[in-house]
Structure 1
Amino acid sequence: MVSPSHNSMIFFLFFTANLWLCFVPSTAELKRFEHPVKADGSLSFLVVGDWGRKGLYNQSLVATQMGVVGEKLDIDFVISTGDNFYEDGLTEVSDPAFNESFINIYTAPSLQKQWYNVLGNHDYRGDVEAQLSPILTKMDHRWLCLRSFIVNAGFVEFFFVDTTPFVNEYFTDPNESTYDWKGILPRQEYLSNLLEDVDSALRDSTAKWKIVVGHHTIKSAAQHGITIELEEQLLPILQANNIDLYVNGHDHCLEHISSTNSQIQFLTSGGGSKAWRGDIREWNPEELKLYYDGQGFMSMQITQTHVDIGFYDVFGNVLHKWGISKDHDSAEL
């Protein structure tokens, strides 16, 4: 994929029955993509994370319900919060896991839309370049995976952030798995540039809604809990730029945490396959709107003035609904 340039205009289009996707140069280092809203000005999509297990651990059942809800909501795209292929990412672009965990699982007509994917820590255990390769997009037009990027959908901007390189233990713990750090080192330079680019992009954004997507948790009552490195380095940037939502996976559950000292809503959708870990940390009940230690996914519907989120279990039951308007009058539905 060609990098953006200040001196040239580069376009490439992915055409499907319901989508065009346009890549345009960005003033920052983050690649920027345009995604159209519906004719009525609305946008709807699903969010799933931690899913790639060749249909096992109820991945196929979650996919079935995603197809049902996706059709009902007439979704525009799907967001994956990472850990796309277990246990160790893809071995190469011809790895059969791409078919076995993605193409052959998410077969519902409503899911044949663009998928915007970030990398999780398990993806970094394999060949990262394989997941980022345009060859996969040729194999399935839905697939778009980059380390960090921006999707502009008119009044909404999505900022996808590569969170795995922030976590110290992946670099220092001798018991940790081997990770593919090609393109990351020197690490501190990579992180410094990424934080600068995210800060700049958020600061320059004029979108009414700003949504940041990463793999790792910032706030979570589940097994992984708070990711200290993100809390210290990324969260201050998100707060300073008044983002609305931080969406993540990593913890294999569904969560909604509404911070008492920030407008940011923290949404975990990591129930795409293996879940049911049976643990929960103490958390302020005023903040913890939903904790579900099981499989499922999340939906989001957005207009100029309102965001509605919904969480669904593996049977398609609604676990939690919540909405917020731009004047920040919010309510559990």
Structure 2
Amino acid sequence: MASLLCQKTMTLTLVSTFLVALFGVLYCEAELERFEHGAKPDGSLSFLVIGDWGRRGDYNQSDVALQMGIIGEKLDIDFIISTGDNFYDKGLTGVDDPAFHESFSDVYTAPSLQKQWYIVLGNHDYRGNVEAQLSPILTEKDSRWLCLRNFILNAGPEMAEFIFVDTTPFVDKYFTDPEDQVYDWRGISPRKHYLKNVLEEVESALRESTAKWKIVVGHHTIKSASTHGNTYELNVHLLPILEAYGVDLYINGHDHCLEHISSNSSPIQFLTSGGGSKAWRGDINWWNPQEMKFYYDGQGFMSVQMTQTELDVIFYDVFGNVLHKWSTSKQLFSVM
């Protein structure tokens, strides 16, 4: 009997080991899903960026949406990027939550905004039913909706590559000190393996990219002078990868402001577009004035226009006024 029990135990152990190994292989080999979005016939591309917006039109969300529609038509935008915190305060309760229509479909109604939305999750989205936001059922309800944890967007023939990163699971305090909030961590566990896989896939995508412009989008800040400030975990784990592979822009939300930081220690431009609804008036911490190119503690959004050689960023307030412009250029062909 003892021998039989021993054999069964060994068999179960071997099966368990095999399943763990198989899971690990499958996990590591998972690649980020890729999407394609063509440029205009002249080879240019334009899009808007909005973050921290989902409040059923309140806190000037509807006013920001109105101006987005006007600017979107003027620039003939190709798509919209959302930097997360899509539904306050606690995400969606499910795919039938009326907040989806009340905060998204019924707010961004302008003809120019009836384009594809590429969307990442924010920390407030994790306080609700994350699987609902990721569900294709929402895309059936509104075809503009495309939300995944991590994915890649290739825009134009090798012109721009966007890597969308799910930053919330990187932040330790949501796990160690959740402030009486309940987070939906389905699909994240085991966290260590999830983060390792994300970083490996981001690095692999950047290393293999031949795009002229490399842009990374996440919810959390890497550098910011507002309430949340720098996100330590992203500075430690993600930033070195972005710098090593020549990322041009890191675009985020999380802090409810509009912001442009150009660090002396990094070639990356750090752009915050988190003014989609409720803003934090007067909430700014000291920052090196040589690095702080722009800060606005009100509502608004951002536009980006690009070609193979030129890139222009503009920030707008809730009235559609231009607050800040920044441009850069690259040679069409690299100098040998």
Q: Give the Å deviation of 1:28.
A: 6.1
1:175 Cα offset (Å): 2.0
Identity of aligned residues (%): 75
| Structure 1 pair 309–28 and aligned structure 2 pair: CA distance change class (3 A) | farther
DSSP 3-state at the match of 1:29? coil
Please say if 1:300 is aligned against 2:304: yes
Corresponding residue number in structure 2 for 1:268:
272
Q: How does 1:50-199 map to 2 (within 5 A)?
A: 50-153=52-155, 154=157, 155-199=159-203
- In structure 2, relative to structure 1, the CA distance for the partners of 1:40 and 1:162 (3 Å cut) is same
Q: 295-304 or 278-287, which moves further after superposition?
A: 278-287
CA distance in 2, matches of 1:175, 1:216: 18
Is it true that 1:250 corresponds to 2:233 in the alignment?
A: no
The answer as to whether partners of 1:78 and 1:113 remain within 8 angstroms in 2 is yes
What is the TM-score with the length of structure 1 in the denominator? 0.89
Letter in 2 for 1:35: H
Aligned residue identity for 2:203: D
Distance 1:174 1:268, change over 3 A: closer
- How far 1:276 moved relative to its partner? 2.9
Where does residue 225 of structure 2 map in the other structure? 221
What is the distance in 2 between the residues matched to 1:80 and 1:174? 24
DSSP-derived class of the 2:235 partner: helix
The one-letter amino acid paired with 1:170 is Y
Quick one: which amino acid aligns to residue 29 of structure 1?
Answer: E
Secondary structure of the corresponding residue to residue 108 of structure 2:
coil
Cα displacement string for residues 258-290 of structure 1 (whole angstroms, at most 9, x for unaligned residues): 111221000000000000332111111011011
> Alignment partner for residue 41 of structure 1, among 40, 43, 52?
43
CA drift of 1:181 comes to 0.1
Q: Which runs of 5+ in 1 are unaligned?
A: 1-26, 329-333
How far off its partner does 1:327 sit?
4.9
Q: Which amino acid aligns with 2:124?
A: H
Paired with 1:58 and 1:195, the residues of 2 have a C-alpha distance of 36
Q: CA deviation at 1:174?
A: 4.8
TM-score scaled by structure 2? 0.89
Instruction: Give the letter for the 1:144 counterpart.
Output: L
| Residue 169 (structure 1) shift | 0.4
Give the greater-gyration-radius structure (CA): 2
Quick check: 33-42 or 273-282, which moved more?
273-282
By percentage of residues, which structure has more helix? 2
Aligned with 1:51: secondary structure? coil
Residue identity in the other structure for 1:248 = N
